[in-house]
Amino acid sequence: MNIIRILAVDDHEMTTLGYKFILEDSEFDGFKVHVDTSKTFEEASEKIRQSVNRLPYHIILLDIQLSSNIEHKEKTGEDLGVLAREVSPESKVVFMSSFSDNYRINSIMQSVDPEGYMVKSEIDEASLQSMVKTVTSNPPYYTQKALAAIRKKMANRINLDENDKKILYHLSIGTKTKDMINHISLSLPTIENRKRHIKALFGIEKQNDQALISEARDRGFI
Amino acid sequence: MNIIRILAVDDHEMTTLGYKFILEDSEFDGFKVHVDTSKTFEEASEKIRQSVNRLPYHIILLDIQLSSNIEHKEKTGEDLGVLAREVSPESKVVFMSSFSDNYRINSIMQSVDPEGYMVKSEIDEASLQSMVKTVTSNPPYYTQKALAAIRKKMANRINLDENDKKILYHLSIGTKTKDMINHISLSLPTIENRKRHIKALFGIEKQNDQALISEARDRGFI
DNA sequence: TAAAAACCATCGATAAATTATGGTTTTTGC
DNA sequence: GCAAAAACCATAATTTATCGATGGTTTTTA
């Protein structure tokens, strides 16, 4: 009987234990599952590094929010995903996230391109089991909310460049336009111009930033 | 008992009859299914137009390849999807296609943004039933091959403009570079320059067009 | 092995983006 | 309600990127 080795990373121990109990008790065709758990970025990255010398994990389950032990460098599950891709390229990476917002999902789809993305509210015993089956045999596996975000992004025919996306992102987190020059290497008038330009693309000329944010969210940019 | 009204369009009658027999015989929670069928673009568009005056179809299943009666204007299932969106915006649109190539799927995701996309080789009784359930209650529904194409596209961080995509498309169908000036409104040197530029973006400088095509296919552009 | 096609480099012309400047209007905090 | 801040807007100069013409070399193809 083959063993599928899984590493589950989440700062809430109850969550990873849930995954462990469900998956190790599940009946699969032709294999059993073993689940390791980690609570921090550092512990998880160490386990991944060590695993590649012996038996790499088949699947790595990552929460996005990881409250790191070392305060001064906040590392997220996304960073851990990037690291996992580098040191353990054969492992399948699956995000288990509370976030179903477009910006997060888009970002992770580009930086990690995970084999799976599950929104936590949609996780149950059945979906966990099909995730394992699908990811090992025929990826990807996305839950419905993740799929809806992905669909929204795909349907979009407007392509903004990196600076435009940064502007939208900073708007969404409340950065003042005049402060964006500290985060984006563009002059203030240019940023203003680009905002106008994006509004025109979105068909909301002569409207304020609130309208822009709401439209950008609707179109899956943030 | 509610009735879900479905229109299935395919130039092969056996296919639509298959959908009809399977779905009308299936047991669903709280509803039954009725399936109309069409073999041509004209017949289908007429049925859709008429339906909106009485009871619009809940779901419209579209094959991409439709050999039209009227030879001189070839209309595809994609055109029918666009039309369906206009005249019957409440209907869910699902493509049932032999194509699983990225170019086709990307194009349809942008022009129609369907509630579902099934690659024909992956269609069976169970998947047909879950498609109907998912599309009516919580879209979208994509089969694994469609999902794989979508994932590839999402993972892509390079964004090419329309002209670049046209160049890649024409390369993929064997159009000679010097003949592209008849299809793309750019001069020959510009097209050559753009090809060089795209190769640089793809990290395949100083390689030939074959490498470019293969890389573009790999990255989900064609 | 010719001829065709692809590939490459340079350069002037053109178009587009950026930025500085100086303003007006709207929002915000007291 | 009012002053200050921020957002918004228009113009013009400057920089940058793109385009297309020309003339060539290399590679493919018949």
pLDDT tens digits, B12-48: 999 999 999 999 999 999 999 999 999 999 999 999 9
Q: Is B168 helix (H, G, I), strand (E, B) or coil?
A: helix
Stretch A185-214: mean pLDDT = 91
Whether the beta carbon of A129 falls within 7 A of nucleic chain C: the reply is no
- Give me the residue from B139, B148, B150 closest to A150, CB to CB: B150
pLDDT tens digits, A116-175: 999 999 999 999 999 999 999 999 999 999 999 999 999 988 889 999 999 999 999 999
DSSP code at position B8? E
Compute the nearest-CA separation of B68 from chain A (Å).
27
Q: Is A155 helix (H, G, I), strand (E, B) or coil?
A: coil
Query: Is the C-alpha dihedral spanning B144, B145, B146, B152 positive or negative?
Result: positive
Compute the nearest-CA separation of A159 from chain B (Å).
7
Q: Is the pLDDT of residue B67 over 80?
A: no
Whether the beta carbon of A207 falls within 7 A of nucleic chain C: the reply is no
Range of weakest confidence among A15-24, B130-139, B202-211: B202-211
d(CA B148, CA A139): 7
> Do B115 and B94 form a contact (C-beta atoms < 8 A)?
yes
CB contact under 8 A, A148 and B140: yes
Whether the beta carbon of A196 falls within 7 A of nucleic chain D: the reply is yes
Give chain A's mean pLDDT. 92
> Do B161 and A157 form a contact (C-beta atoms < 8 A)?
no
> Do A172 and A103 form a contact (C-beta atoms < 8 A)?
yes
Which among A143, A144, A154 is the top mutation candidate for probing chain B, defined by the most B β-carbons within 10 Å of its own β-carbon?
A: A154
| Chain B residues touching residue A155 (CB < 8 angstroms) | 109-110, 113
Range of weakest confidence among A50-59, B61-70, B132-141, B213-222: B61-70
Q: Which of B83, B79, B76, B18 is nearest to B57 (CA)?
A: B83
Q: Is the pLDDT of residue A15 over 60?
A: yes
Work out the angle between the directed axes of helices A144-154 and B144-154 (0-180°, nearest 10). 60
Single pTM value for the model? 0.90
Whether the beta carbon of B193 falls within 7 A of nucleic chain D: the reply is yes
d(CA B55, CA B62): 19
Stretch B104-131: mean pLDDT = 96
The contacts of residue B150 (CB under 8 Å, 6+ apart) are A150, A154, B105, B109, B142
A127 Rama sector, left if φ>0, alpha if ψ -120 to 50, beta otherwise: alpha
Q: Is the pLDDT of residue A75 over 60?
A: yes
Whether the beta carbon of B210 falls within 7 A of nucleic chain D: the reply is no
Compute the nearest-CA separation of B153 from chain A (Å).
8
> Do B16 and B37 form a contact (C-beta atoms < 8 A)?
yes
Residue A103, pLDDT score:
83
Chain A positions touching chain B (beta carbons under 8 Å): 106, 109-110, 113, 134, 138-140, 142, 144, 147-148, 150-151, 153-157, 159, 161
DSSP code at position A24? H
Stretch A182-190: mean pLDDT = 93
- Chain B residue nearest residue A148, CA to CA: B140
pLDDT band at B127 (very low <50, low <70, confident <90, very high): very high
More confident call, B205 vs A44: A44
CB contact under 8 A, B113 and A139: no
- Chain B residue nearest residue A138, CA to CA: B144
Compute the nearest-CA separation of A155 from chain B (Å).
4
Round the CA-based radius of gyration of chain B to a whole number and report it: 20
- Give me the residue from A113, A148, A156 closest to B155, CB to CB: A113
| Chain A residues touching residue B157 (CB < 8 angstroms) | 110
Stretch B164-177: mean pLDDT = 92
> Do B35 and B25 form a contact (C-beta atoms < 8 A)?
no
Residue A182, pLDDT score:
92
Q: Is the pLDDT of residue B73 over 70?
A: no
pLDDT band at A82 (very low <50, low <70, confident <90, very high): very high
pLDDT band at B156 (very low <50, low <70, confident <90, very high): confident
Residue B133, pLDDT score:
97
